[in-house]
Amino acid sequence: MRPFLQTKVLPDGLTLDLRSLTAADVISFVVTNCPRLSPGTAGLTVSALRSLLGFLYVDGAIDRSLVSAVPTVPGRRLTGLPKGLAADQVQRLLASCDTSTRSGCRDFAVLTMLVRLGLRAGEVAKLQLEHIDWRGGEIVIAHSKGNHSERLPLPADVGEAIAAYLHHGRPASAQGRMVFARITAPHHALTTGAVTQIVRHAGERCGFERIHAHRLRHTAATLMLRGGASLPEIGQLLRHRNAITTSIYAKVDRDALRSIARPWPGVVA
């Protein structure tokens, strides 16, 4: 195999002597270029740079491995603040559905499930008639992130909304066993995208900024927290596998955070 050339001609006409490449050069490149990139692109950049430097060392183009000199892109997971709707906004969202119509009756049931149970759009779309245990007051959720299911309590208002839709909104010719179906023929089951569109259109009717189904999942969690629920209870409803995922909602309870915040030095608390 032909050795990698130790002197490279750059696009601007300058030459780069790989034998003089140092750890400081590698760090300088990452620090200069990565802040302008998105976190995902920055991560791919440093990964590609490590691969390149490893190849250059194995090929003999550089005298020592500089892979360890490549800085790590800091993670940004769970650093944002969950954006849930306020209680009055939720009421406006639900009230925007005209339950005297088939579509309004369906949309009201969908929105009620999203905001009360914190379901994902795909979980609502996959809900089947046999997943509702009316006598036991439970609902079976087919997890959208795996081939397993879980049971959740069926709140009275959610059950009433679903029952009203089944009696007055679901087309008699609905195809399959899915609970929610298209209003116009052919009456196929709703897709995940259709559930998201229901949320978006409801938000538009209320004059809200563009919202998606996951916003209502955050809303369910924040409303529970403000109602006195604990983080483990919220994590159980949202079916989080890791308590760290639920901990992001602790930042929503600003009064509780204020009680444990330390005063800034030199400032009277």
**148 among known catalytic residues:** no
**Single-letter code of the amino acid located at 262:** R
- Catalytically annotated residue among 131, 200, 240, 251: 240
- Choice among 106, 126, 217, 218 that is catalytic: 217
Does 217 qualify as catalytic in the annotation? yes
Which two tokens mark 256? 């509780």
Tokens of 223: 């409303």
- Strand-pair partners of 138: 133, 153
Query: Does 214 participate in catalysis according to the annotation?
Result: yes
- 201 is a catalytic site residue: no
Please say whether the beta carbons of 215 and 199 come within 8 A.
yes
Residue 240 designated active-site:
yes
Three-state DSSP class for 47? helix
∠ CA 109-113-115, nearest 5°, is: 115
Tell me if residue 8 is catalytic: no
Catalytic pick from 145, 177, 188, 254? 145
Tell me which of 106, 116, 120, 215 is the catalytic residue: 120
Residue 181 CB partners (closer than 8 Å, separation 6+): 106, 170, 171, 174, 175, 187, 188, 189, 190
Of the candidates 187, 214, 239, 251, the residue annotated as catalytic is 214
Exactly one of 116, 126, 165, 249 is catalytic; name it: 249
Which sequence positions are flagged as catalytic? 120, 145, 214, 217, 240, 249
